[in-house]
C-alpha cells in the first residue's frame, strides 16, 4: 500500500501551478491533504472524478482557511471529520478513517506563531484520541503536517529557531509525548542520519545554499506493531506546487 501526505497550502493555488498533473501520474492507494483552503464545491471543480477513487474533504467554516482532504480507493468501515470540540472541528483539521486492519488519521496541526496554546490544545486532544484507539487494540497510521521539527537534524537553522514556534521546547515535548504513547516516525526510522526537509521557505528555494529556513514538518507515523511492515518512507523534495513537499509511505497491509 502506498500512502501520500501533502500540505497543499491552498488547493486552488497548487492547481494553478499544475499539481493536478503530478497527482494524476502518481499511483497511491491513499492521499491525505492538509491546508486545502477551499470549499467542497471548489475542490470538486479542481479534482475531477478519478476512476477507481473516491474523494472526502473536511473544509473549514472560515472561507479560504485550513481544511483537510482524502482521496481513497479502498472501502472503509467508518469515516469522521469530528473530534467533537467545536473550535477545532470548525477549522476542518481532522479526518479519521477506520479500516479493518488500521485507522488512518489525517491531521493538520495549527501553526503556533500567534496561537501557541491553541496548537498545544489541539495536539493534546489528538493524542487523547490516539491513546483511546491504541487502548482499544487499534493500529494507527497518522498523516500530518505536525508543524514541529523534533530534533536539530530536522531543520536547517536550529540555533536561530530555538525561540520560534515550530522548534520550541514545549512543542518538542508534545512530539516526545506522541512517540511515547506508541508511535514511530517512519521517515526517521528508515533514515536515521539523513537531512531532508518537507517545508522550504521561498528564500531557501530561490537562493539555495544556507539561505532561508527549511523544516521537516510533515510526517507519517505508525504505531509500533506496524513498523515491521514499512518498506519505504521518503520526501518528494523536488515537487514544488506548495511550500510543503509531498511525503510518501509504502507499507504492507
By annotation, the residues acting in catalysis are 145
DSSP string, the chain: -EEEEEE-S-HHHHHHTTHHHHHHHS--SEEEEE---S-HHHHHHHSPPPTT-EEEEE--SSTTS--EEEEE-S--SEEE---S-HHHHTTT-EEEEE-SS-EEEEEEPPP-SS-HHHHHHHHHHHHHHHHHHHHTT--EEEEEE-----SGGGBS-TGGGTTSTTS-HHHHHHHHHHHHTTEEEHHHHH-TT----SEE-HHHHHH-TT-S-EE--EEEEEEGGGGGGEEEEEE-TT--SSSBPPEEEEE--
Amino acid at each position: 500500500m502506498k500512502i501520500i501526505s501533502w500540505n497543499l497550502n491552498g488547493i486552488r493555488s497548487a492547481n494553478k501551478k499544475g499539481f493536478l498533473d503530478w497527482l494524476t501520474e502518481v499511483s497511491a492507494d491513499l492521499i491525505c491533504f492538509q491546508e486545502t483552503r477551499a470549499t467542497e464545491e471548489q475542490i470538486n471543480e479542481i479534482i475531477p472524478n478519478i476512476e477507481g477513487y473516491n474523494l472526502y474533504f473536511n473544509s473549514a467554516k472560515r472561507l479560504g482557511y485550513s481544511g483537510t482532504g482524502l482521496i481513497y480507493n479502498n472501502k472503509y468501515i467508518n469515516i469522521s471529520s469530528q473530534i467533537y470540540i467545536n473550535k477545532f472541528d470548525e477549522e476542518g483539521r481532522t479526518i479519521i478513517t477506520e479500516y479493518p486492519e488500521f485507522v488512518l488519521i489525517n491531521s493538520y496541526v495549527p501553526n503556533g506563531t500567534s496561537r501557541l496554546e491553541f496548537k498545544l490544545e489541539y495536539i493534546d486532544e489528538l493524542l487523547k484520541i490516539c491513546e483511546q484507539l491504541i487502548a482499544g487494540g487499534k493500529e494507527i497510521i497518522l498523516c500530518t503536517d505536525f508543524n514541529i521539527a523534533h530534533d536539530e537534524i530536522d531543520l536547517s537553522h536550529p540555533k536561530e529557531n530555538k525561540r520560534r514556534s515550530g522548534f520550541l521546547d514545549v512543542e518538542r515535548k508534545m512530539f516526545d509525548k506522541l512517540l511515547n504513547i506508541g508511535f514511530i516516525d517512519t521517515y526517521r526510522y528508515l533514515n536515521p542520519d539523513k537531512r531532508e526537509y518537507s517545508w522550504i521557505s521561498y528564500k531557501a528555494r530561490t537562493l539555495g545554499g544556507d539561505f532561508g529556513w527549511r523544516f521537516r514538518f510533515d510526517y507519517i507515523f505508525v504505531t509500533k506493531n506496524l513498523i515491521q511492515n514499512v518498506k519505504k518512507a521518503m520526501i518528494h523534495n523536488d515537487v514544488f506546487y506548495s511550500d510543503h513537499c509531498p511525503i510518501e509511505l509504502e507499507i504492507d497491509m
